[in-house]
Structure 1
Amino acid sequence: MDRAPSHLRAVILAAGDGGRMRGHTTATPKPLVPLNGRPIVEYTLEALVAGGVTEALVVTGYREAQVRAALAGGHEGLSLTFVTNPRFHAGASYSLAAARPIVGDAPFLLVMADHVLSARLIERLRGAAAADPGRCFVAADSGPRDDAFSDEATKLALGLDGSIIAIGKQLPRWDALDAGAFVLTPAVWDAAATVPEDCELSVIMSELVRRRQLFAADVTGASWYDIDTEEDLQAAAAVVAGR
């Protein structure tokens, strides 16, 4: 039997090599890079717990021994398990695939270890899934953002029914930004089966969009930050300090 949406397990993608932050990640995996004196991934774990999640699967790859050692003691309120993506240098699709044998056909919450999310965002996303448990959702932020942030972010165009009708970084018209957190159902495995095995998550999400199977969970007003570069790290530090 599928898990009820109120008991969603989180899948945390923490396998990448952080190539755009090579000055930090040559010796330290990106999830453990300090943000205001604490590893980035700690903010993810805290948001999950505060947002009502009690169980998480961490997908590791690059310098996974360091990541697992750092998280070996667990996190209060959150039961952690681990799975390895041995092909972490390739597309992030392999990290998603690594989670499949464990999550099976249950819906799950997908987050990135390098996204600083708030509990409010997690609560909103879980709430959307609880209200309509058969759907896949993406955290969609329609609030104002500065141009530099918006230029880098993935954009979403929404249909009248709340479905995502277009997704990408170069959309000429868009309604919200993709905050990088999702609730996914087995529909994601069907979508993944029709795209190249080695691809980025955006390709799989685009296939869900093509099928009209991805919907917006409104997280406007909830704080989040995607850390890709040194500049992002500095900006995220200011966001975290201002909470």
Structure 2
Amino acid sequence: MEQRDPGAIAPRAVILAAGRGSRLGDRTNGTPKPLVQLNGRPIVSYTLEALASAGVGDVVVVTGYEEAAVRSALLASRPDGMQMSFVHNARYREGASLSLRAARRATAGEPFLLLMCDHVVSAAFLAQFLLGCPEDVSAVAADFERRDPAYVAEATHLALDGRGRVTAIGKGIEPFAALDAGVFLLRESAWGAVEAASENTDLSTIFTLLAKGEGLHPVDISGQFWYDVDTEDDLVAAELLLNG
């Protein structure tokens, strides 16, 4: 059987890195969220390293807060051989959906990975996700393993129907089957859901519209490393896990 190359499935990735990271409290000290230090490295550097290791070599970064600082730091620290371009969302305070809209032209109508700068993921996570993506529908990374109740309460949930298809995404959804691990493979048809939503809506609303329309396939990445860093406590927990 021919072995698939994860990087060939989606050779381009979009990273949403426009936010300020105000929920991280004193740990930011005015630093843009993608550049907040995690074990002595910018938090987004883990995502860039994982993408390079998984064979994804073309990255589009959507900037917002402190655009020049983010651009300079990422260009200086990108992995060898990685192509990197930038799109600026001047309305970054109005929500992440505007950052996604800003990236449309840069995706050139091709499938692309969508990642959040504050989700730390491993190369094995990305490889397993990409290899599990169907060829005809957008997909979301889904974690079915049990986690600490406090973490689950803050996480974004995935509701599935009896056939295993995503029916809704959001915080506080009950009942839910899995956690949204913050990584998506979006195909050209996904832009229909983006256009159907209001400009300043959240990403969960867009992806719920996508799930109910064109469809959104959950890809099981259970057992692979990922961590969503939203708060100062999350940052401490991620540091402990990475050091463990």
Q: TM-score, with normalisation over the residues of structure 2?
A: 0.92
Which of 152, 155, 160 is the aligned partner of 2:154? 152
Identify the residue that residue 31 of structure 1 maps to in structure 2: 34
Task: Report the more deviating stretch, 66-75 or 97-106.
Answer: 66-75
Residue ranges of structure 1 left out of the alignment (5+ in a row): none
Which of 1, 10, 13 is the aligned partner of 1:10? 13
Q: Secondary structure at the match of 2:59?
A: strand
Measured in 2, the distance between the counterparts of 1:200 and 1:22 equals 22
Identify the residue that residue 239 of structure 1 maps to in structure 2: 241
- Change beyond 3 A, Cα 1:174–1:212: farther
Identify the residue that residue 119 of structure 2 maps to in structure 1: 115
Q: Secondary structure at the match of 2:197?
A: coil
Shift of 1:167: 2.0
- How many equivalent pairs are there? 237
> Aligned runs of 1:126-145 on 2, under 5 Å?
126-129=130-133, 132-145=134-147
Shift of 1:162: 3.1
Shift of 1:125: 1.7
Matched-pair contact (CA < 8 Å) for 1:29–1:62? yes
Matched-pair contact (CA < 8 Å) for 2:144–2:177? yes
Measured in 2, the distance between the counterparts of 1:68 and 1:133 equals 33
Residue ranges of structure 2 left out of the alignment (5+ in a row): 1-6
Identify the residue that residue 79 of structure 2 maps to in structure 1: 75
> Aligned runs of 1:179-218 on 2, under 5 Å?
179-211=181-213, 213-218=215-220
Measured in 2, the distance between the counterparts of 1:5 and 1:182 equals 15
Matched-pair contact (CA < 8 Å) for 2:190–2:214? no
Q: TM-score, with normalisation over the residues of structure 1?
A: 0.93
Which of 18, 21, 24 is the aligned partner of 1:21? 24
Matched-pair contact (CA < 8 Å) for 2:20–2:31? no
Identify the residue that residue 222 of structure 2 maps to in structure 1: 220
Establish whether residue 50 from structure 1 lines up as the match of residue 53 from structure 2.
yes
Identify the residue that residue 92 of structure 1 maps to in structure 2: 96
Matched-pair contact (CA < 8 Å) for 1:164–1:212? no
Shift of 1:220: 0.3
